[in-house]
Amino acid sequence: MSLPIVRHSSPVVVERMLLSWLSHKNSKGQFFFYNHNLEDCKDYMEEKFSRIHNVSTIERAFRKLREDKKVQFRDASLPHGKEKRWYVISSLK
């Protein structure tokens, strides 16, 4: 029995799925999220796109979206919070 061939997604594909998740959250009125919520994004990608990615890949994609200014956001971390909190203003599709 041979193992299935695993093809790695390009970062662009992960970014598009992440943008879909952000748009989905925004459409539900959920504009704030913490880094740990990217686990929800992982589940969303698996359900909607039948793709499995680890959270660190999704975090990298989010960082790239911010650097490339494809997502308009604000750092909304709480003053004494240990984890990053983001306010997503808008995202480009």
Domain count, the chain: 1
Which of 52, 53, 55, 44 has the alpha carbon at shortest distance from 19?
Answer: 44
Residue with tokens 């890949």: 57
Task: Return the minimum-mean-pLDDT range out of 1-5, 69-73, 88-92.
Answer: 1-5
Residue 45 included in any domain: yes
Residue 84 included in any domain: yes
Boundaries of domain holding 66: 11-91
- Please determine, for residue 90, whether its predicted confidence score (pLDDT) is greater than 90: no
CATH code: domain of residue 19? 1.10.10.10
pTM of the predicted structure, to 2 decimals? 0.78
- Please determine, for residue 7, whether its predicted confidence score (pLDDT) is greater than 80: no
Residue 34 included in any domain: yes
pLDDT in tens, 44-89: 999 999 998 999 999 999 999 888 888 888 989 988 888 889 898 8
